[in-house]
Chain A
Amino acid sequence: MSNHLLSLLIWLPILGAVPVLLAGGQRPNAARWISLLVAVATFAASLALVHVYDPSTGTMQVGENLNWIASVGIHYSLAVDGISVALIALTSFTTILVIVGAWEVIAVRTHQYMAAMLVLEGLMVGVFCATDALLFYVFFEAMLIPMFIIIGIWGGPRRVYATLKFFIYTFFGSIFMLVGLIYLYSKAHTFDIATLAHLPLSMTEQSWLFFAFLLGFAIKVPMVPVHTWLPDAHVEAPTGGSVVLAAVMLKIGGYGFLRFSLPIVPDASEHFAPLVIVLSLIAVVYIGYVALAQEDMKKLVAYSSIAHMGFVTLGIFIAFMLVREHNNVQAAHLGMQGAMIQMISHGFISGAMFTCIGVLYDRMHTRQIKDYGGVINVMPWFGLFYVLFAMANSGLPGTSGFVGEFMVILAAFQANPWIALFAAFTLIIGAAYTLWMVKRVLWGEVTNHHVAEMKDINARETFVLAAFAAAVLLFGIWPQPLVHLMDASVGQLVQKLAYSKV
Chain B
Amino acid sequence: MPTFNDFLILLPEAYLTVAACVILLMDAFLKGGQRVAIHWLSIIVLLVGAWLVIDGQPATAVSGFSGMFIRDPVAEILKVFSLLTTALMFIYSRGYLRDRNINEGEYYALTLFAVIGIMVLVSAGSLVTVYLGLELLTLSSYALVALNRDSKLSSEAAIKYFVLGALASGMLLYGMSMIYGATHSLDLATILHVQNVEWRNLMLFGVVFAIVGIGFKLGAAPFHMWIPDVYQGAPTAVTIFIGTAQKIAAFGMAYRLLDSGLGAYAHEWRMMLAVLAVLSLAIGNLLAIVQTNLKRLLAYSTISHMGFLLLGLVEANPAGYSAAMFYAISYALTSAAAFGIILAMSRAGFECEEIDDFKGLNQRSPWFAFLMMLVMFSLAGVPPLFGFFGKLLVLQSAIDAGFLWLAVVGAVFAIIGLYYYLRVVKVMYFDAPVEGTDVRAQPDMPLRFVLSLNALALLALGIAWGPLFAWCQRAFGITA
Which chain A residues border B469 with CB–CB below 8 Å?
69, 71-72
**Interface secondary structure of A, over-half rule:** helix
- State whether the Cβ of A145 lies closer than 8 Å to any Cβ in chain B: yes
Which chain B residues border A112 with CB–CB below 8 Å?
366
Do A168 and B399 form a contact, CB below 8 Å, given A71-B470, A175-B411, A182-B392?
A: no
Q: Per a CB cutoff under 8 Å, which of A71, A138, A149 touches B429?
A: A149
Which chain B residues border A160 with CB–CB below 8 Å?
426, 430
A141 to B470, CA, bound (A): 25
Residue in B closest to A140 when the chains form the complex, CB atoms: B383
A142 to B382, CA, bound (A): 7
Distance to closest chain B CB from A82 (angstroms): 28
Mark each residue of chain A from 163 to 197: 1 if its CB lies under 8 Å from any CB of chain B, else 0. Answer: 11001100110011011001101100000000000
- State whether the Cβ of A137 lies closer than 8 Å to any Cβ in chain B: yes
A222 to B426, CA, bound (A): 24
Q: Per a CB cutoff under 8 Å, which of B419, B430, B466, B470 touches A153?
A: B430
- State whether the Cβ of A459 lies closer than 8 Å to any Cβ in chain B: no
- State whether the Cβ of A152 lies closer than 8 Å to any Cβ in chain B: yes
- State whether the Cβ of B445 lies closer than 8 Å to any Cβ in chain A: no
- State whether the Cβ of B415 lies closer than 8 Å to any Cβ in chain A: yes
A71 to B362, CA, bound (A): 38
Residue in A closest to B430 when the chains form the complex, CB atoms: A152
- State whether the Cβ of B384 lies closer than 8 Å to any Cβ in chain A: yes
Mark each residue of chain A from 1 to 37: 1 if its CB lies under 8 Å from any CB of chain B, else 0. Answer: 0000000000000000000000001000000000000
A159 to B429, CA, bound (A): 12
- State whether the Cβ of A70 lies closer than 8 Å to any Cβ in chain B: yes
- State whether the Cβ of A93 lies closer than 8 Å to any Cβ in chain B: no
Do A164 and B383 form a contact, CB below 8 Å, given A172-B415, A185-B396?
A: no
Contact status A182-B395, CB under 8 Å: yes
Which chain A residues border B156 with CB–CB below 8 Å?
none
- Contact residues, B366-402 vs A (CB, 8 A): 366, 377, 382-384, 388, 392-393, 395-396, 399-400
Which chain B residues border A144 with CB–CB below 8 Å?
382
- State whether the Cβ of B450 lies closer than 8 Å to any Cβ in chain A: no
A40 to B422, CA, bound (A): 33
Contact status A69-B396, CB under 8 Å: no
Distance to closest chain B CB from A343 (angstroms): 25
Contact status A145-B404, CB under 8 Å: no
Which chain B residues border A463 with CB–CB below 8 Å?
none
Distance to closest chain A CB from B472 (angstroms): 9
Contact status A164-B419, CB under 8 Å: yes
- Count residues of A near B (Cβ-Cβ below 8 Å): 35
Contact status B466-A71, CB under 8 Å: yes
A43 to B395, CA, bound (A): 38
- State whether the Cβ of B330 lies closer than 8 Å to any Cβ in chain A: no
Q: Counting chain B CB atoms within 10 Å of each CB, which of A70, A72, A183 scores highest?
A: A72
Residue in A closest to B463 when the chains form the complex, CB atoms: A68
Distance to closest chain A CB from B329 (angstroms): 15
- Contact residues, B407-466 vs A (CB, 8 A): 407-408, 411, 414-415, 418-419, 422-423, 425-426, 429-430, 465-466
A183 to B400, CA, bound (A): 8
Contact status B418-A182, CB under 8 Å: no
Residue in A closest to B471 when the chains form the complex, CB atoms: A71
Contact status A138-B422, CB under 8 Å: no
Contact status A179-B470, CB under 8 Å: no
Q: Per a CB cutoff under 8 Å, which of B392, B419, B430, B473 touches A71?
A: B473
Which chain B residues border A71 with CB–CB below 8 Å?
466, 469-470, 473, 478, 480
Distance to closest chain A CB from B40 (angstroms): 32
Q: Per a CB cutoff under 8 Å, which of B383, B396, B404, B418 touches A168?
A: B418
Q: Per a CB cutoff under 8 Å, which of A72, A142, A159, A183 touches B384?
A: A142
- State whether the Cβ of A213 lies closer than 8 Å to any Cβ in chain B: no
- State whether the Cβ of A217 lies closer than 8 Å to any Cβ in chain B: no
Instruction: List 7 other contacts, CB 8 Å, given A71-B469, A186-B399.
Output: A71-B473, A72-B466, A153-B430, A168-B419, A175-B415, A179-B399, A183-B399
12 example contacts (A-B, Cβ-Cβ < 8 A) are as follows A25-B366, A72-B469, A141-B383, A141-B388, A144-B382, A145-B382, A148-B425, A164-B423, A171-B414, A175-B411, A179-B395, A182-B392
**Chain A residues packing against B (C-beta within 8 Å):** 25, 68-72, 109, 112, 134, 137-138, 141-142, 144-145, 148-149, 152-153, 159-160, 163-164, 167-168, 171-172, 175-176, 178-179, 182-183, 185-186
